[in-house]
Chains A and B, each alone.
Chain A
Amino acid sequence: MARTKPDPWVPFFEIAQDPWSKIKEIKAKTGKKIIGHVLPDAPEELIYAAGAIPVAVAGAGIPISLAQSQIPSYSCSHGMGALELKLKGTLDILDGIIIPYVCDTTRNLYHLWRRLFPDVPCEFLRLPKKLGDPGASHYLKEEYLRISKWLSFITGQNVTEDNLSSSISTYNESRDQLKSAYLKMKTSPAVWSANRVIAVFESVFRFPRDEHLSLMRSLPWDVAGTDNTSRSKIYVRGKVWDPPEITGLFDELGLTLAGDEIVTGFRSVEVNTQACGDLFGSLVDRHMSMTPYTGYYVDPRKLVEDFLARVRSSGAQGVVFLNPKFCEAAAFDTPDFVNALKKNNIPCLVLETSSRGTSTSQIKLRLEAFGEILSGDLP
């Protein structure tokens, strides 16, 4: 009897849906330290070079109950979700956690974490907000050096030039593969669906990179041709894929991702790190070159122009905003982005997302109507 070939997508879905069980197994097997990092933009290469496994902590889709006793309900799902996971014991596996300074909520989350969970070492990644500023770059390099020392203290392994170089190479290789997967999604969405490809992206933040690379080799890279002609192309801006079912809805409704700015999406792979010379400086250069996260600062007037240029160059017919409820940075940016899109006749849909009170069916309905506008298939 012929053996059925295993579905190559399954491991990615398993990791994305329940990363903590897998990480528990890996920790038991390898004895490696597990360093959580609240999204976005912790320098994973440094964590990896220090001999630990970086695992992203995101609150999207986490039902909130215990966290409400520690932080007011007008906090975003991501901050509350991270607290919820720890209060429920899910994050007990962590040997340390990095919380980046990207907004007031992550700043408060850091202080709350230290007070509530003194058993889990917590470090605050003091990200400068100015992108493209020489002073900010210099400061960030110093900050990476400081974080490296903290990581080495936890793992007992120094971040040397050799292991950082090796880590950067692994991450670059992984990003290149993910970029190829993204391209496949754009051209051959019947097989390389958004739901599948984004599961590959999501899982990479929650699994050792080298093992993830091995898993990616089993994917159906030989699928050729273009099967996206009847689909509407959308561009997505937001923090994370929230609700997690959103990519499945895109597929179901015939929407193809032409580009995105999600922190676990294309933004995470668009720039590689220079693997030679001043490696810490290269990590800084990469951070400064990525599409700006909403909490960072660039000339406000340029911010809108650049966004519009990215949307246009993606070839998208419309834009979907996934704005986490109570995320002030995203909510301040959105009206001017929307106005700029309207002026340029690019339709958009603003979805406010939260694990408290957002209905997936309602999102589906709105996406469906948006898809009809894009395709001109109006009743």
Chain B
Amino acid sequence: MEPIKALKEIKKITLDYFTSAHMAPHNNKPVVYCNVFTPVELIYAMDMFPVYPENHAAIIGARKMAIELSSAAEGMGYVMDLCSYARCDIGWTKAGVSPTWGLPKPDLILVINCQCGTLTKWFEVLSRTYNAPMVLIDVPHSGNGEKDSAAEAYVRGQLDDLVKTLEKVAGKSLDESKFKEVIRLSRQASELWTRMLVMGEEVPSPMTVFDQFISMFPIVSQRGTEIAVQFYGNLVRELEDRVSQKKPAVPNERFRLFWDNLPIWPELGKLSSFLADRGAAVVTSIYTWAWSQLAVNEQDPLSDWTRQYLYTFNLNLDYRIEKYVELAELYKLDGFLFPSNRSCKWISQDVLALRDAITERTGIPGVIFEADQNDPRLYSFENLEKQIENFLELLVAKNHKA
């Protein structure tokens, strides 16, 4: 398996980002904690610095510090049933150690709840810890994705208020031309990200979702910057070369799989190798697709965000089923991997119905296995391997039968 050269840049990008984050208060840049779907373009346009406790937690998981830091949070009274991202991030405030030297103190905390309710409660804890003001953009769950004009007015009104709050914290008005430029860069990054995801349709696939997970950092935290555009530009060019040369991410690609849910950060490398050794390429995932849909237009970005939050990121079971069925055809999938993620109840509680509906619609089987995005104490990697191994054998038997 030949590594993707462009991904080597991620380490430097991450290091530079956290250095800048810690320097932000010294450079008079207000620090804004936010979650992955917040309109980060507004924050960059206001010369503020966005910081993502979710990213912080994912890095803690990937660097195998989750047990130490989540235990610290448990010592503070946060029970083990809580999201392990939250426990890791809260835990560092007690333990004082983290692979990113922690996070700078926030001047403002911003959260949008279309993603999940957990984030709001986690960020409430941070608001109290740092005595920092918090803004919640409350997005009503639009049932089955049908149009909800009243909700549109409610969300749009909150985004208008958010601009005023940011201006107050930053001590200056939003510079419209700068805002447009940031949006343009953000859209460029999002388009490149989408081109990268679409390349997974190629047989053999030039990259796996594990590569996508590694490459996520700029699309999450640096949308609207040149850094993200350059990084994904280089990545896409390298992948296009791979496609033209039919260079596979997984040698002897035998199975093309789908990954539901969040990555299991502590096992990323092990799981990637385990699957590659068996000719299994995980070619797409609902998780990474989220960032392909974040682009907005310069004309009326606040209305675009309103619709995105209400109808795109407000996932519902029917939408997921339709989307997965569509991806199954586009990516010529052989099977679905469904981690039942204890830390993300929002996306995991309907996993049984989801799996059954997709298999019924497509005839493609799926396997559900116990997992957690960050906390290795909540699953057994050996069991997980066994389940996937059995699943791959089932796929072989199914293909023989066909």
A interface vs B, CB < 8 Å? 69-72, 74-75, 79, 101, 103-105, 107-112, 114-116, 124, 126-130, 133, 135-136, 138-139, 142-143, 146, 295, 297, 299-301, 303-304, 325-326, 328-329, 331-336, 338-339, 352
In the assembled complex, which residues on chain B have CB atoms less than 8 Å from the CB atom of A329? 117, 121
**Is residue B285 within 8 Å, beta carbon to beta carbon, of the partner chain?**
no
Minimum C-beta distance from A133 to chain B (A): 8
Rounded to whole angstroms, the CA-CA distance of A248 and B83 in the bound complex is 34
Knowing A74-B345, A116-B353, A130-B136, the reply to whether A135 touches B117 (Cβ < 8 A) is: no
Q: How far is the CB of B392 from chain A (nearest CB, A)?
A: 23
Contact status A129-B345, CB under 8 Å: no
Q: How many residues of B contact A (CB 8 A)?
A: 50
A326 adjacent to B81 (CB under 8 Å): yes
Q: Which of A75, A116, A138, A143 contacts B345 (CB 8 A)?
A: A75
| Interchain CB contact (< 8 A) of A104 among B76, B78, B123, B346 | B346
Whole-angstrom distance from the CB of B86 to the nearest CB of chain A? 7
The answer, yes or no, to whether B350 is at the interface (CB within 8 Å) is yes
Tell me which residues across on chain B come within 8 A of A297, comparing CB atoms.
Answer: 120, 124, 136, 138
A139 near B154: Cβ-Cβ < 8 Å: yes
Partner of A74 from the list B81, B148, B153, B158 (CB cut-off 8 Å) is B81
- Pair A332/B349 contact, Cβ less than 8 Å: no
B342, CB-defined interface residue at 8 Å: yes
Q: Is the CB of A105 within 8 A of B345?
A: yes
Residues of A within 8 A of B128 (CB): 300-301, 304, 336
Q: B132-155, CB under 8 A of A: which get 1 and which 0? A: 001010101111100010110110
* Cβ contacts under 8 Å, B76 to chain A: 335
**Known: A69-B352, A328-B81. Contact between A336 and B117, CB under 8 A?**
no
Q: Are B81 and A115 in contact (CB under 8 A)?
A: no
List of A residues within 8 angstroms of B125 by Cβ: 300, 332, 335-336
Contact call B120/A129, Cβ cutoff below 8 A: yes
B352 contacts A139, C-beta separation under 8 Å: no
Shortest CB distance B220–A (Å)? 21
Which one of B120, B153, B350 lies within 8 Å of A111 (CB-CB)? B350
Nearest A residue to B351 via CB reads A72
Task: Supply 8 further A-B pairs (C-beta < 8 A) apart from A115-B357, A331-B82.
Answer: A111-B317, A124-B141, A124-B143, A126-B142, A300-B127, A328-B118, A331-B81, A335-B125
Cβ of B394 < 8 Å from any Cβ of A?
A: no
Q: How far is the CA of A300 from the CA of B346 in the complex (A)?
A: 22
**Does A352 lie within 8 Å of B154, measured CB to CB?**
no
Question: A103–B117 contact, CB under 8 A?
Answer: yes
| Nearest CB in chain B: distance from A125 CB, A | 10
- Among B73-116, those with CB < 8 Å from A are 76-79, 81-83, 86, 113, 116
Please judge, given known A-B contacts A103-B117, A126-B142, A300-B128, whether A72 and B81 are in contact too, CB under 8 Å. Answer: no
Known: A142-B150, A338-B77. A303 touches B345 (CB 8 A): no
B127 touches A75 (CB 8 A): no
Are A328 and B117 neighbours in the complex by a CB distance under 8 Å? yes
Q: Is B241 an interface residue, CB under 8 A from the partner?
A: no
Contacts of B238 in A (CB 8 A): none
Are A139 and B340 neighbours in the complex by a CB distance under 8 Å?
no
Q: List 22 A-B contacts (CB under 8 A).
A: A72-B340, A72-B351, A101-B141, A104-B345, A105-B349, A107-B117, A109-B349, A111-B318, A112-B317, A112-B350, A126-B140, A135-B154, A138-B154, A139-B154, A143-B140, A297-B120, A326-B81, A328-B81, A328-B117, A328-B118, A332-B118, A338-B77
A304 to B128 alpha-carbon distance, docked (Å): 9
Given known A75-B345, A112-B350, A335-B76, contact A325–B140 (CB-CB < 8 A):
no
